[in-house]
Structure 1
Amino acid sequence: MKLLFASLILYLFCVDGFAQSKSDKKTAQQPVSGGYTITGTLKNAANRKIILTENSFYKSRQQSDTTTANAKGQFSFKGKLDEATFFSLSVAGKTSPQYFFLENSPITITGNADSLWAVNISGSKEENIRQKIQQMMMDTAIGNRYKRAELKYTNARAVNDVNAMKAAIKDREQAVAQELVRVKNIISTYSSSAVGVNVLSVLMSLGDLAGADSLLTIMESKEIGKTAQAKYFRQQIDVMSRLNIGKVAPEFAQTDTLGQVIKLSSFKGKYVLVDFWASWCGPCREENPNLVATYQAFKDKNFTIFSVSLDNNRQNWLNAIRKDNLTWSHVSDLKGWKNEVAQQYGINSVPANLLVDPTGKIVARNLRGEDLNKKIKELIQ
């Protein structure tokens, strides 16, 4: 799930016209009318390079700006943004950058370069909102309930206790329902902010497309609805709506591990699980043993898996396929998050999947483990 402030799964993109480059020293020192000014002082940053990097998942390029702190650890940046945007601040030679929302206003950053996660950031209304929402999201009660349900399910599955598995699934669904209520309340409260728009990604990842659509419609009646981020989510919702259950899965073709082009339509006549994953995705790799078991159970019953990787390193991709014993068809254009099929299908988190019937229609989305097996049995028998 792509939570910019919660899990820090970041998609690195940029805003046009962001800041001046390091090489344009004279321009960088001039005030920027209507823009932002960052003034910082960090202990243990003396004479070190300071890097400011945009982390906007909804844009196609990323830019960064650098400067060097003086002997007192002081530094500054100036620039102008099209809209409030998520950034990271890092210090060369130090770990764990600080992430924050930057907007066109005077920003002050103070703290210690050895603990950037704890620096104080003032002057950004959007960052203040982000911090408030972060505190709300750190309420672990719902998350712990979900983890307990997952553990309960895993233990029940190990001993094939069907009733216990059903109870665990119900607990898990109730935890997700609680989270949906919490996320909707957060978005409604901050529906005029860039951070509020950002939280739509959480709602979409939890599967409430209708809820995200409704809340975005409200935002579109406000100024925030004209931003690139809001327009990105509108595009994503429209794409995902075309992929609802009952719709025909769009045709696609990509290159497999042997350099051959494989089309989705080549599997017509079978139930196909279109699986989106990546070698670097921990939850994907954890789910792979379940997929292997599902494939072995149903591969001779008119079922197969067609995996699309969001890798950008061919060898890592091949090694993961081999190590996890994934013996079905695999394709990738090795463009990472820019994978053309992933963009076509509105994939904004992995693992993700769609179950397609023999006629090419989508019959289920994002089923895993026993839920997937149950659905396949229901369809095949």
Structure 2
Amino acid sequence: MRLFILCIIPLFLYFEATSQSKPVKKQSGPDISDGYTITGSLKNAANRKIILTENSFYKTRQHSDTTVANAKGQFSFKGKLDEVAFYNLKVAGKQGQQHFYLENAPITIRGNADSLWAVQVTGSKEENLRKVLEKMILDTASTNRYKRAEIKFSNARAVNDQETMQAAIRDQEEAVRLDQNRFKQFIAEHPNHAASVNVLGMLMNLNDVAGADSMLTKLETMEIGKSQQAKFFRQQIDQLSRLTIGKIAPEFAQTDTLGNVVKLSAFRGKYVLIDFWASWCGPCRAENPNLVQTYRTFKDRNFTIFSVSLDNNKENWLNAIRKDNLTWAHVSDLKGWKNEVAQQYNISSVPANLLLDPTGKIIARNLRGEALNRKIKEFIP
């Protein structure tokens, strides 16, 4: 089992694809009435089209602008934003792109069109802070801790060393806790900045909904808390808060492999693991043998699994069920990441799961392997 790798929905790659683009009041820095001016110079971009595109993960319409570099690779853009926004810069016919925060200020772009990832963007205070955050993430020892914990778990599992496997799980939990604290500290040290709003998504991906809620509540007293991304996260946090441990799991119904409608409430009276997965998700398929073993162990003791697939190809879905020997209830609307139940439950990565008690109350989230078995044993001797 790969404990720590998830198939993540593109909407929640917060650090790579984030923007705010609706009105907020003036923040610190240049007067927004001045607008922005981008002055660029790229080697190997002579007479090529330069494409500037907004990159917002929650908007269906993105602002885009184009220009053509002169014979020296020089170009410029002018415009006006209502608030800080995340943009991509591309050069026609060249590989890659450069991501950066754009704000109403004089922005300078210098570099080589053949290595857009290394292009230097200066003049944006928000972009400077994003680079600080990027460096913090890339340089953190937490990345190594996650990897060490995964290797430790895999090696122990190969020889069925349960004690070391549990130690690896505790190592991973500690790495998560440290990351949660670092991200909250970043927000506290850099309030009223778009990058701090961005970090809220990272906290949610680390299952720290309460921490994200607390930090957003503070940001909402500032101008950045009125941004559209902050409002989007408020909706997400409020939705996630309805799915925390101790709450009743919302009812849902979808069609099974035979086309019959199956409701969650049909399993009321049993312990139920709602499992979100997909045939194309490698970590899900790697976890399935553990689910099979869990099901065999507890299925005659008032426990079952109810799987919701984020597939969009029925044949692939059915083949994976058969191949992995998943003999419990399965449903899907075959809409992929737009699966209505996944959206209702705010699922941003798979595998994901919720463990319910016989009353339908959520008693655990996102447990796998032996951690899942250990939790079930707390309720089912």
Q: Which residue is equivalent to 1:4?
A: 14
Q: Which residue is equivalent to 1:132?
A: 132
Separation of aligned partners in 1, 2:99 and 2:362? 38
- Deviation track 1:98-131 (CA, whole Å, cap 9, x = no partner) reads 2221223232222112211100111211111100
1:118 aligns with 2:128: no
| CA contact 1:152–1:165 (8 Å) conserved in 2 | yes
Separation of aligned partners in 2, 1:281 and 1:126? 35
Alpha-carbon offset, residue 258 of structure 1: 4.6
- Percent of residue pairs identical: 71
SS in 1 for 2:52: strand
Alpha-carbon offset, residue 324 of structure 1: 4.9
Alpha-carbon offset, residue 221 of structure 1: 0.7
- CA pair 38-343 structure 1, distance change in 2 beyond 3 A: farther
Alpha-carbon offset, residue 210 of structure 1: 1.7
Alpha-carbon offset, residue 302 of structure 1: 3.4
- Deviation track 1:272-301 (CA, whole Å, cap 9, x = no partner) reads 222233455454444344334433443444
Alpha-carbon offset, residue 159 of structure 1: 2.0
Separation of aligned partners in 2, 1:335 and 1:62? 23
SS in 2 for 1:363: strand
1:363 aligns with 2:363: yes
Q: Which residue is equivalent to 2:287?
A: 287
| CA contact 1:106–1:123 (8 Å) conserved in 2 | yes
AA at the equivalent of 2:56: S
Q: Which residue is equivalent to 1:77?
A: 77
Counting only pairs closer than 5 Å after superposition, residues 1-381 of structure 1 correspond to structure 2 as 2-5=12-15, 8=16, 10=17, 15=21, 34-279=34-279, 281-311=281-311, 321=321, 324=324, 326-381=326-381
Separation of aligned partners in 1, 2:62 and 2:329? 33
AA at the equivalent of 1:224: I
| CA contact 1:14–1:61 (8 Å) conserved in 2 | no
Runs of 4+ aligned structure 1 residues displaced above 6 Å come to none
- CA pair 52-278 structure 1, distance change in 2 beyond 3 A: farther
Separation of aligned partners in 1, 2:183 and 2:311? 30
AA at the equivalent of 2:156: A
| CA contact 1:15–1:63 (8 Å) conserved in 2 | no
- CA pair 200-257 structure 1, distance change in 2 beyond 3 A: same
Alpha-carbon offset, residue 77 of structure 1: 3.4
Separation of aligned partners in 1, 2:302 and 2:165? 26
| CA contact 1:14–1:54 (8 Å) conserved in 2 | no
SS in 2 for 1:355: strand
Stretch of structure 1 that moved more, 278-287 or 157-166: 278-287
Alpha-carbon offset, residue 143 of structure 1: 1.6
Separation of aligned partners in 2, 1:345 and 1:177? 23
Structure with greater contact order relative to length (CA < 8 Å, sep ≥ 6)? 2
Count of residues paired in the alignment: 363
- CA pair 333-288 structure 1, distance change in 2 beyond 3 A: same
Alpha-carbon offset, residue 322 of structure 1: 5.6
| CA contact 1:3–1:199 (8 Å) conserved in 2 | no
- What TM-score does the superposition give when structure 1 sets the normalisation length? 0.84
- Deviation track 1:47-72 (CA, whole Å, cap 9, x = no partner) reads 43433333222334445444443443
Separation of aligned partners in 2, 1:81 and 1:42? 24
Alpha-carbon offset, residue 225 of structure 1: 0.7
